Amino acid sequence: MSAGVELNRPSSPSGGFGGNIGRLAVRLVIYAFSIFVILGPLSSLILWSFAEKWFWPNTLPQEWGLQYWSRVLEGKMAEALTVSFGIALLVTVLCIVLCVPLAYMIARYRIPAKPVLLLIFLLPQAFPQLPVFTNAMELMYRWDLVGTLTGVTLIHLVGALVFSVWTMVSVFQSISVSLEEAAVNLGASRIRTFFTVTLPIAVPGIIASSLLVFLYSLDEFTGSLLIGSPFITTMPVYMYNSAMGYEMQTASVTGLLLMIPGIILLLLMQRFMKSEYMAAFGRG
């Protein structure tokens, strides 16, 4: 046997076990840090929402209770919650009705200056919201829409259309054209093909887009404050007014009530959003 040949020695079991322990420890540290970063700021909201008395320099509240939860849910906050969900639902329905046919046309037909058309829908998000909504407020004053439910719904549509159009275009682009061509070759009309072939396949993507629009409308603040006040009060505006008056308990309860449906809807959106849609996102 040649002297230059070296025998392969098995690695030490203790070294491999130690490496696994080290990697596990690093993962646990990363997970703990992530949980702290995410839940740390939220912990103050939870504490304030149940605190009936909390004065400096005490680390924790002196008295706990559900007084502010019952007060918030029985007062104007319940009305603001109803208004917010109603507006978000209306904006979502309008986006579906308007954007499904529009997104299908953009995805399937050769439209002149298609990138420019998509860019126009993106423009409201390309600039700071305050000047955009301030200019919209000036126009709505002329049409007597400030302080009305119609005005708040329209200002929500300004931003919601961006998410809806771009997401639904990517949804329809991810659907193979050959499926529609096969249905047409079998004698189906274009309209029937859309409703029986394309639309059922696109339903998960449309649901994901709708959830995104609903969340945007539910959390929209700047336009709701400028256009709706003082007659239309949404949940974000109610929370802002409470925080400005240093009503920490009320603001914390409102913040938690806004956060809960957001978490639930984001989990649902993660279920319906497919990788094919993201791959087609922005493709001309």
Looking at the fold, whether 73 and 127 belong to one and the same domain comes out as yes
Q: Is residue 83 located within the same domain as residue 19? A: no
Element (H, E) at 108: helix 76-108
Return the half-sphere exposure (C-beta side, CA atoms, 13 A cut-off) of residue 260: 9
Rounded CA Rg of the chain: 26
Residue 130 lies in a domain: yes
CA 101 vs CA 88, 108, 174, 191, 273: distances in Å: 21, 11, 16, 11, 20
- Per-residue confidence (pLDDT) for residue 42, from 0 to 100: 75
Report which secondary-structure segment, H or E, holds 276. helix 275-280
Instruction: Establish if 138 belongs to a structural domain.
Output: yes
Identity at 113, one-letter amino acid code: A
Strand partners of residue 51: 64
Residue 18 lies in a domain: yes
Query: Is the same domain home to 113 and 166?
Result: yes
Tally of domains in the chain: 2
Specify whether 72 is located in the same domain as 60.
no
pLDDT of residue 96: 92
Picking from 64, 85, 103, the residue at the C-terminal end of a domain is 64
Q: Residues 29, 56: one domain?
A: yes
Asked whether residue 238 is domain-assigned, the answer is: yes
Judge if 54 and 79 occupy the same domain: no
The CATH number assigned to the domain holding 188 equals: 1.10.3720.10
Q: Give pLDDT, residue 26.
A: 82
Tell me: do 211 and 72 sit in the same domain.
yes
Residue 192: alpha-carbon gap to chain centroid: 32
Whether 8 is covered by a domain: the verdict is no
What per-residue confidence (pLDDT) applies to 88? 93
Low-confidence stretches of the chain (pLDDT < 50) are 1-2, 4, 12, 14, 275-284
Q: Does 5 reside within a domain?
A: no
Residue 129 in domain: yes
The reply to whether 28 and 144 lie within a common domain is no
pLDDT tens readout for residues 60-81: 787 888 877 877 777 677 788 8
Q: Are 224 and 234 in contact (CB under 8 A)?
A: yes
Q: What angle do CA 151, 84, 65 make, to 5 degrees?
A: 145
Question: Quick one: 39 and 118 in the same domain?
Answer: no
Half-sphere exposure of 160 (CA within 13 A, CB side): 32
DSSP-derived secondary structure letter, 59 = S
Beta bridge partners of 64: 51
Final residue of a structural domain among 28, 44, 64: 64
Domain that holds residue 28: 13-64
- Which region, left, alpha or beta, applies to residue 29 given φ > 0 means left and ψ of -120 to 50 means alpha? alpha
Cα 54 from Cα 247, distance rounded (Å): 12
Domain boundary at 45, 64, 83, which? 64
91 and 45 share one domain? no
Q: Catalogue the E-assigned strands of the chain.
A: 51-53, 63-64
Q: Are residues 136 and 162 in the same domain?
A: yes
Beta bridge partners of 257: none
Threshold 0.75, pTM exceeds: no
Q: Does 157 fall in a domain? A: yes
| Cβ burial 136-164 (10 Å sphere, 16+ → b, else e) | bbeebeeeebbebeebbbbbbbbbbbbbb
- pLDDT in the model for residue 160: 87
Q: Are residues 99 and 84 located together in one domain of the fold?
A: yes
